[in-house]
Amino acid sequence: MEDCHEVIHLELKYCERCGALWIRHAGSEEPYCVSCAEAVRQMSPSSRHRTKPRMPGEKMPPRGIGSLDGAADWGSFYDAGGTA
């Protein structure tokens, strides 16, 4: 009798809606955990917009700092590790 093993590749992913850590099939493009995916499916199409995902607890730079041409001095806002 031959011993057959199936290998399934998984990866950890943060839900882009609630920030929960969940497991999905490797290479999958699903951005939401199961409960959020269901909630997003029930939303009206006009209320579904994807934003740039952020790590939980990541701070946004204060409004009004710098200019739109990218010449802002972000070194005074971020430390060497890239955190605020």
Q: Which of 66, 69, 56, 68 is nearest to 77 (CA)?
A: 66
What pLDDT band is residue 57 in, cutting at 50, 70 and 90?
confident
E-assigned strand segments in 3-79: 10-14, 21-25
What pLDDT band is residue 33 in, cutting at 50, 70 and 90?
very high
pLDDT at 53: 72
- Give, in degrees to the nearest 5, the angle at Cα 68 between 66 and 70: 70
Asked if pLDDT for residue 47 goes beyond 80, the answer is no
Q: pLDDT digits over 61-77, tens only?
A: 666 555 455 545 555 55
Mean per-residue pLDDT, 14-36? 93
Mean per-residue pLDDT, 17-29? 93
